[in-house]
Amino acid sequence: MPDNVQGPGTDRTDRASLRADCANCFGLCCVALTLTRSADFAINKDAGKPCRNLQDDFRCGIHTELRTQGFPGCTVYDCFGAGQKVSHETFDGQDWRRAPQTAQQMFQVFPVMRQLHELLWYLTDALSLEPARSLHGEIRRTLDETERLTHLPADAFTDLDVATHRDDVAALLLRTSELVRATVPRSKKRDRRGADLIGARLRGADLQGADLRGAYLIAADLEGADLRLADVIGADFRDAGLAGADLTGSLFLTQAQLNAARGDATTKIPPALRRPTHWHR
Confidence of residue 149 (pLDDT cuts 50, 70, 90): very high
Report the mean per-residue pLDDT for the chain: 93
pLDDT at 280: 73
pTM of the predicted structure, to 2 decimals: 0.91
Query: Taking the domains of the chain in order of start, what are their residue ranges?
Result: 16-181, 187-281
Confidence of residue 204 (pLDDT cuts 50, 70, 90): very high
Confidence of residue 260 (pLDDT cuts 50, 70, 90): very high
Which of these ranges, 51-65, 75-89, 181-195, 262-276, has the smallest mean pLDDT? 181-195
CATH number of 187-281: 2.160.20.80
Work out the end-to-end distance of the chain between its first and last CA atoms, rounded to an integer number of angstroms: 35
| C-alpha distances out from residue 228 to 93, 177, 184, 205, Å | 41, 12, 10, 11
Residue 7: what residue type? G
